[in-house]
Structure 1
Amino acid sequence: MNNQKPQTLPPVRFLASWTVAGFSLLTVAVYGSLYLAPVSLDAQNPFWVVLGRFHPLVLHFPIVLILLVTVLFLLALLKPAFVNPLLLRGLLGASMLFSFLAVLAGYLLSVSEAYSGPLVSNHFYGALLTGTFVSVTAFLYEGQVRSKKAPTPLFFGFLLLTNASLAYTSHVGGSLTHGESYLSEPLKALLPAKTPSKTPEEMLLYGDVLATILETRCANCHNQNKSKGDLLLTSHTALLQAGKSKKKAVIPGDAAGSELLQRVLLPEEDDERMPPDGKPGLTETEISLLHFWVESGASEELRLGQITNDSILAQLEQLMPDILRAQHKIIAEKEAFEAAQRELAELASETGIEIIPDDLANGKYFGMKMKFPPASFGSEELQQFSGYFPYFSRVSLASSDVSDDALFFIGKMSQLRRLVLQKTAITGEGLPYLSDIPALEELNLSFTPLEDGHLLHLLSFPNLKKVYLFGTPISEAVIEALRQHRPEMEIILEEGPFY
């Protein structure tokens, strides 16, 4: 008769085993609570800031430990001795602990330093998922060791999920720190260099050369959405039409009579010159090519291989590197704009505002405006768009919660042309933040509590042309002073547009 008692774990190992199991369940519960009901903290507390900044220091530990566990199990396929239960339990327990600390520190960092946006959200949820997978993996392995069973497919499944989630979360974290193309950018060097799809002989003088020149020099003012003087320069057909002056931009065979050639040859100080306002005009080579094309009949089908003029061919050869660079830049800008549009649409849906392409910016910039009824939108929400500030040319925050402090962020919108702050709490104290925006031409401050002294900051705005001040407490004396010192700036005592 066998009276031997069943084997039990030594007290220390028994306690350690239950500690690992209990801690894994606790961490999963915390991750779930952070996902379902994030904890509200005092964002200004320096204690949270200090703890949060440990995040980049701690997060490397679980990454290394999880990968080491995975490598050991892979090596065990060749030599089973690599599966050392004591070592693996220690590694999984440590990875679970450091994952927990990294998640908590990351959460404190995002709260205390106001990190926001889709990348931050994706990184946070990825970290919660990774931490959960680590804890479940450790729990499963602990149970298998206690029952003296070999690891099951369920364990290996969660180990695989842990690595996949870890890879995704690490990638998003790297994108937050270094930009979304941080990993992919070096790989571009391995791709074939961009080369023209046509040989030089096959290239069209208008479609491939002159159209690129007009796109980069003229299309900003003469496009489908903004046709200055009713003149379009975005297609061959449009070039042959007359604008407001009743003169055709291009008259085939008559360069001297073509309005386009006449305008680009005017002196820089002439108001009729194209392009105006001191913008760089066409070079002598570009004008020469345009003149040759018009005199040759302004054909859309003329190929470089059909040109026999040695002087023109030499000019084309000299200009070709610039043309190719301009073409690649146009394509890259279009791709970047489309990518930004997708990202902004997601961010706009989260903040309750509307982002649309600016119909006066030739497909290069966006407009931002409040929906009706307006959602709560102040400085904190505005900061979420900081990575896209250079893409905005038109912003309307009418009836929003923005105050003068928000003008600091708006001042970073370097391409901003029209700004509507109607029915906000702007007193004018933050107006100096906007004075360095070179393109700002229109400012709507109607129905705001502006103060007389602060409004005088508008005197330092370089290109401001219209200001709406209806319903403000500004005195007649200040308005008159502005009109005397800036007669070119139109002060309008009407409500003005909402967008």
Structure 2
Amino acid sequence: MDNKELPSSTKMWTKLFGKRIIIPSIFIFSYLIILLVPFNFDQQNDWFVLLGRFHPLVLHFPIVLILVTTGFLLMGFFNPNFNKPIIILSLLWTSVFFSFVSILAGYLLFISESYSGNLVSNHLNGAMATGISITLCLILYELNFQRKLKAGFLFYSLLILANFSLAYTSHMGGSLTHGEDFLTAPIDALLPAKKIDKAPEDMLLYEDMVATIFETKCVSCHNENKSKGDLLLNNYDEVFASGKSKKQAVIPGDTSKSEVMVRVLLPEDHDERMPPEGKPGLTDNEISLLSYWISRGASDTLTYGDIDNDEVLTEIEALMPDIQQAQYKIIKEKEAFEAALQELREIGDPMGVDISADDRSNGKFFGLKMRFPPAHIGNEEIKAFSPYFPYFSRISLASSNIDDDALFLLGKMPQLRRLILQKTNIKGEGLPYLKNLENLEELNLSFTPLDEGNLLHLIGFKNLQKVYLFGTPVKPEVISALQKHKPELEIILEEGPFY
């Protein structure tokens, strides 16, 4: 198209930088929209799911292309034959294009399927940093090639950033797909096997064996960070729940209707098989153990010593070395958790707060609550817990002296799911500090001097499910406006729980 036909703003941009800069600029604008404008869908969009599932097919292209581009530029310092602008430009253009396609497909997958939590957010943010930085590299190289700008230092700085963010994003993606111990597991396997002293006849079928199978084969896709099909398998109570399919994962005494058994027995190429194609499935011995446990009522008290089936005993015996190795790792993690709990209690006791394991987090995170009568706890006291902020999932500061400045500190607790702030000095101007807490599901603001205008900040809270507003000065029409703009949020006009 001729320059005369272009809009005035596009003419100016074209005059300054040339037409070849327009496309990468559109890519950067698209990245910024994705970062700044949240999209949510109440129902799954099948087209987005289809397009999103191309993400694992195309993501390797930008990885290889960015690394090859970097390699050519580095070798160009030593051999001029590699320093050919036409080659570098071609590599940069293809890197930028496939980065955009991969990020767009990944984002469609993110908003159309059940992905949540820090791992997926960090993976998305890392991808954005990679896409933006490599696209800026292309723009700078084009301008340098056209002799409109000399940007050597800035170009190489952005290229280094692109490679670092690429490595980080790849690591987050690997952790999402294969579990957070994706890199450390092979190292553990190389070390001499460590066993626990627990006698086999005292081992619990669920806690010591079945849970280990779930942990090694299923939990990488069914955890707090990535709950495929809205199903969690890292907690005993959760294995009896129904996921998105509305079918109960485990039905005690009935293996034929337990969805877990149905899925693991499907052919390897079946779309609904669990684990999916490309991931290690359950062995015959593991399937036999899982089937036997369900048929015997899926109890959490059933022990190895209770088994009266010789065939099952033989199969479990073959699994025992792996089970004991896994149990040793679990015990070491529990010991570290108990040590941290003791340190937190030493901090909290003088302040008059109780620290305990959050029973809703499968013993992985902590809860904090005020004692009665409430002690003088303010913003400064909360800072004492800052080294442990990433490990709190439940906080109750009811009747404390905190105000909105404390919300800045609470916003640094990425695992926080339940936050009780009733009878505090919260007016709401600090609520934006909490909007990036992707795990926050419940917020209690009862009996606070909440400013009704600040209540509308909750519209930006992605996964908030409940908010308690009893005894606040917020008018009913403001509550109605919030409900209209965020219909999935349950607004409860009751005082609510204290913990």
Flag the structure with larger Rg.
1
Under a length normalisation based on structure 2, what TM-score does the superposition of the two structures give? 0.46
